[in-house]
Structure 1
Amino acid sequence: MLLAGFFGVVMGLVLGLTGAGGGILAVPALVLGLGLTMTQAAPVALFAVGSAAAVGAIDGLRHGLVRYRAALLIALLGAIFSPVGIFFAHQLPEKILMILFSLLMVMVAWRMLRRERREPGPSDHGHANWGQKNCMLDQQTGRFSWTAKCTATLAALGAVTGVVSGLLGVGGGFLIVPAFKQLTDVQMRGIVATSLMVISLISAIGVIGAFHAGVRIDGVGVVFIVASILGMVIGRKLCARVPARLLQIGFASICVMVAAYMLYRAGA
């Protein structure tokens, strides 16, 4: 129980600091640390990630940072495609799921270690020229200009996020955060808050689908979920004080080590 609480706090802390990556750590913690199978760990991880993300999303809504229309569109498509991932998760062997998850962790670590230019200023408005990004903020209203290109981009992102979420039990923040940075001119504070809202919505759908498939959460899972919410609260309070680059390097290093161990376990 203590171990479950510790892992839950760490997962929530990472999610609160970065807006992504919580599920990436949650599943290995449950599988390697607490002895669950991949299919057992997925709904617990989703429930924990979704609950913690909801706390962060509410905080983001209070501060006007969440792009809620974009979040709802992504979550809607995620909800539609999440059962596809859940179906395949129950068809694939445990070893294949572990290998896929390990490769996913390596990809996330690589993206974390890449140096990216940081936009200055506290404003949530981006600085790209009109047309540079698929989705641009209207400088008059501060909201997205909903062109066909922007709508299609966010819908596709939601579909991919939903499938991966259902398949591997992750919230999808590792996809949403870099995609928003690449495809929109929203600043990082808004990206993190929007990502947390999407994660909370998609995770909820994934949990419902898993329960429908017959998966149940035991006492250890409940402790992990409650601890993750506590970690999220702490992470949101610390996010302005922790150097971003230090956090990225530390998180990426953990991802690589855990991925290597999961690949070793899958091959054993």
Structure 2
Amino acid sequence: MDMDVTLLSAGLGSVVGLILALTGAGGGILAVPLLVFGLHLSIMQAAPVGLIAVGAASAFGAVLGLREGVVRYRAAAVIGFTGMALAPVGVRLASVIPNAPLTVAFSAVLALVAVRMFKQARRIPTGQTESIQEQSRLPCVLNPAEGRLIWTMPCAWALAGTGAVSGLLSGLLGVGGGFVIVPSLNRFTNLQMRSIFATSLAVISLVSVGGVAAAAWQGSIAWNIAAPFAAGAIVALLLGRLIAARLAGARLQQAFAVTSGAVSLLLFVRGMGWLTL
């Protein structure tokens, strides 16, 4: 029985890693639903396990991004450390909120991600279509001479606010927060999408530390599931990067969005008590 759980955990983790490689940081939001339906865990049990896998896989992706020089590490630090501070608050809330409303809340977040991703897949990212004058009005813009963000108070507040929201949701629902970080960086900065994804992975790895540490302190992590789940995610992420360039695209993003919408509906039905599987 233990071997079956280990193999199933590793297999489910590999799905998460592959999704992360093909769709970007927001793909990790499916980690918790996979654990809920695949291993019949509650949201509170699945959240830290999913966060470990998403955080570990994101850390590997962030290291590769650092080697390529596309991670904005100062922006990642501001968002990440703010998120780390709020993640334990989310973990605490998850321990006192009943599973049913927590499941419904997760389904709502997943539905929002699905709609947003489907819309984004139908258009070119805004950072590639805005004029220089429009970009200059953004809170965070790159210094063209240095290739680094110009730091201002509006920029710092925008990034810190992004970190606070992603950290709270990470601890509460076990999501990495990429679905918050990527749109925020796309909205508040003029970074290229390649840099946005890499920076988001770095943030997720930092934010995950806060959530995982708080969950471990409370003793609510099932390590026999978390370890193989994370290992499967990391291996699949590395392998997925080899085929991402061939498969990634608008159609794939839309397919992921439709899948996320369907899973959101299943979670809502389960949270309302209409589905016991």
Q: Which runs of 5+ in 1 are unaligned?
A: none
What TM-score does the superposition give when structure 2 sets the normalisation length?
0.91
Q: Bigger shift: 126-135 or 180-189? A: 126-135
The structural deviation recorded for 1:19 is 2.6
**Rounded Cα–Cα distance in structure 2 between residues aligned with 1:128 and 1:11:** 37
Name the aligned partner's letter for residue 96 of structure 2: Q
**Equivalent of 1:224 in 222, 229, 233:** 229
Q: Which residue of 2 aligns with 1:15?
A: 20
Q: Which residue of 1 aligns with 2:75?
A: 70
Structure 1, 11-20 or 253-262: larger mean CA deviation:
11-20
Contact 2:49–2:222 at 8 Å: present in 1 too?
A: yes
Aligned equivalents of 1:246, 1:254: Cα separation in 2: 12
Aligned length: 264
Write the deviation string for residues 46-67 of structure 1: whole angstroms up to 9, x where unpaired: 1000000011000000000000
State whether residues 40 and 215 of structure 1, in contact with CA within 8 Å, keep that contact through their aligned partners in structure 2.
yes
Aligned 8 A contact 2:49 2:226 in 1: yes
Matched, 1:103 2:108: yes
Deviations 1:86-138 (CA, angstroms, capped at 9, x unpaired) = 111111110011000000111000011113324798xxxx8643523121001
Indicate conservation of the 8 Å contact 2:52/2:226, yes or no. no
Whole-angstrom distance in 2 between the partners of 1:190 and 1:133: 17
Q: Does 1:266 align with 2:265?
A: no
Quote the offset at 1:15 in angstroms: 1.2
Q: Contact 2:13–2:229 at 8 Å: present in 1 too?
A: yes
C-alpha deviation, 1:2, in angstroms: 3.2
Q: Contact conserved, 2:80 with 2:203, CA < 8 A, in 1?
A: yes
Within 2, Cα distance between the matches of 1:55 and 1:254? Answer: 25
Please show how residues 224-243 of structure 1 align to structure 2 within 5 Å: 224-243=229-248
Instruction: State the shift of 1:38 in Å.
Output: 1.0
Q: What percent of counterpart residues are identical?
A: 45
Aligned to 1:138: 143
Give structure 1 regions of 4+ aligned residues with deviation exceeding 6 angstroms: none
Mapped to 2, the partners of 1:213 and 1:7 lie a distance apart of 25
Compared CA separation, residues 127 and 212, structure 1 to 2 (3 A): farther
How do 1:1-268 residues align onto structure 2 when only pairs under 5 Å count? Answer: 1-114=6-119, 115-118=122-125, 128-129=132-133, 130-268=135-273
Distance in 1 of aligned mates of 2:126 and 2:166 = 26
Q: Would the alpha carbon gap of residues 33 and 147 (structure 1) be closer, same or farther in structure 2, given more than 3 Å must change?
A: same
Verify the 8 A CA contact 2:19 2:28 in the aligned structure 1. no
The 2-side partners of 1:184 and 1:239 are apart by 25
Q: CA deviation at 1:202?
A: 0.6
User: Which stretch has the larger CA shift, 34-43 or 50-59?
Assistant: 34-43
RMSD: 1.6
Paired amino acid for 1:218: W
Counterpart of 2:159, as a letter, is L
SS of 1:15 mapped into structure 2: helix
> C-alpha displacement at 1:26, in angstroms?
0.3
Letter in 2 for 1:227: G
CA deviation after TM superposition for structure 1 residue 22, in Å: 3.4
Amino acid at match of 1:92: I
Higher share of residues assigned helix: 2
CA change 1:220–1:82 in 2 (3 A) is closer
CA offset at residue 18 of structure 1? 2.7
Tell me if the contact between 1:22 and 1:49 (Cα under 8 Å) persists in the aligned partners: no
Local SS of the residue matching 1:179: helix
Give me the whole-angstrom Cα distance separating, in 2, the residues matched to 1:158 and 1:221. 25
Give 1:74 deviation, angstroms. 0.4
The C-alpha deviation readout for 1:70-91, integer Å capped at 9, x for no partner, is: 0011011001111111111111
